[in-house]
Homo-oligomer: A and B are copies of this chain.
Amino acid sequence: MAGEAASALGLSLAVLAERPDDAACAVAAEVLPGSPLVEAEFRALAERCRVVTFDHEQVDLDIVATLVAEGHPIYPGVPTLELAVDKARMRAALVAAGVAVPAHLVIEPGPGVDAGSAIAEFGAVHGWPLVLKTARGGYDGKGVWTIGSEAEAREVIAPLSGTLLVEELVALDAELAVMVARRPSGETVAWPAVETAQVGGVCREVLIPGRLPADVTEAAGILGRQVADIAGAVGVLAVELFWSKGRLLVNEIAARPHNSGHWTIEGAVTSQFENHLRAVLDLPLGSTSAAHSQVASVNIFGGDDGGNPRDLLASGLSHVGAHVHLYGKEAKPGRKLGHVTVCGDNAEEVREQAWSAALALGTPHPVGLPLPDGLQHKGEFPS
């Protein structure tokens, strides 16, 4: 999707890809084979480009630092990536800046450290169940566990190495996300905060503006910009928030275009992808205003039957007004394969239309999330 935005602006995109069938290769002017984890391959990209940016966080910070020291502009930079790749460091930076986050404990592995006992102590204070996360490498619910007892904790952590983050299971009234774009100068804009629905740690739908009162979503926007400043972000940054007992808590950040901002392609004046490119190129940022009063965006996943939504495209497109995005990926159960956005002026209607099209494209039923009235589904969401 960043490639589509690059094309519109007449920018030439080169992609560093480990596999030539990576979806991003299809829209890139140039494909360099390689991995950002191999210094020479990353350097070849940096030497080819005016600026380098990322669509994931699986980067080696030492390599990035080396290339930046050589004079290659790489955004987001090392200080931001350090927070984005490590939930423990991110939490520490937010706490240091006075930002509210869930109660948590960082457990560094080492000789004499009994992580099981530390988790048990945390549970005794903050209650069970609690949430256990690996500080690095998790996404879309991977690397995250809900733990009911010390015994369960010991079982889960046995095969793990690396830093652990233990946190209270926050009583959620809602989940929100804010997308922010920030230039090297610090100029920062935020799109309207959105309400997200996660099932099993995976975002299933995004509603704009969602059900929360305007003062809460506005506060979320301010908080989002504050977090982008703390992180020293350049490009777009996603801030995922909990709304719990009248408080906004920062859950996670992602220093890149993010699923909770896909609605901006049609729903906002400027998309997150375009503003990401503008920001990393230090170009003026576009308006982040919503272009419609109500927007709903529903993700499409692979079902247990292995079907690909591209084979159901005619069915999905029969829903007039549905903006269908397919990512050109091979279908696997539970893999995110696309999304559908509907814009309008009635919250229930846009949600119903987006789900109708997403179900027509074969996305399985979201266990734990009620569907709009009258909609039928085929399979259950893969566990």
Interface on A for B, CB 8 Å cutoff?
A: 1, 3-4, 7-10, 12-13, 25-29, 265, 269, 278, 283-284, 286-287, 291-292, 309-310, 313-314, 317-318, 320-321, 323-328, 338, 343
Contacts and interface: CB of A to CB of B under 8 A. Distances in A.
Nearest to A292: B291
Given A291-B343, A317-B284, A26 B12 contact: yes
Contacts of A3: 7, 27
A291 B345 CA distance: 12
A325 B8 CA distance: 5
Contacts of A343: 269, 291
B26 A287 contact: no
B12 A328 contact: yes
Contact of A317 (B13, B278, B309, B320): B278
Given A26-B29, A286-B320, A291-B291, 8 more contacts: A4-B7, A8-B323, A10-B310, A10-B327, A10-B328, A12-B328, A284-B320, A291-B292
Contacts of A28: 26
Contact of A26 (B7, B284, B320, B328): B7
A321 B189 CA distance: 13
A321 B269 contact: yes
Contacts of A284: 314, 317-318, 320
A283 B314 contact: yes
Given A3-B27, A29-B26, A317 B10 contact: no
Contact of A338 (B10, B12, B309, B324): B10
A9 B9 CA distance: 20
A169 to B, nearest CB: 37
21 contacts: A1-B7, A3-B7, A4-B4, A4-B7, A7-B328, A8-B326, A9-B313, A9-B324, A9-B326, A10-B313, A10-B327, A12-B26, A25-B29, A27-B29, A269-B343, A283-B314, A283-B317, A284-B314, A284-B320, A286-B317, A291-B343
Given A284-B318, A317-B278, A321-B286, A326 B10 contact: yes
Contacts of A291: 291-292, 343
Closest 3 CB pairs of A and B: A10-B326, A26-B29, A4-B4
A324 B286 CA distance: 10
Contacts of A320: 284, 286-287
Contacts of A287: 320-321
Contacts of A318: 284
Contacts of A317: 278, 283-284, 286
Contacts of A12: 26, 328
Contacts of A8: 1, 4, 265, 323-326
Contacts of A29: 25-27
Contacts of A321: 269, 286-287
A338 B317 CA distance: 29
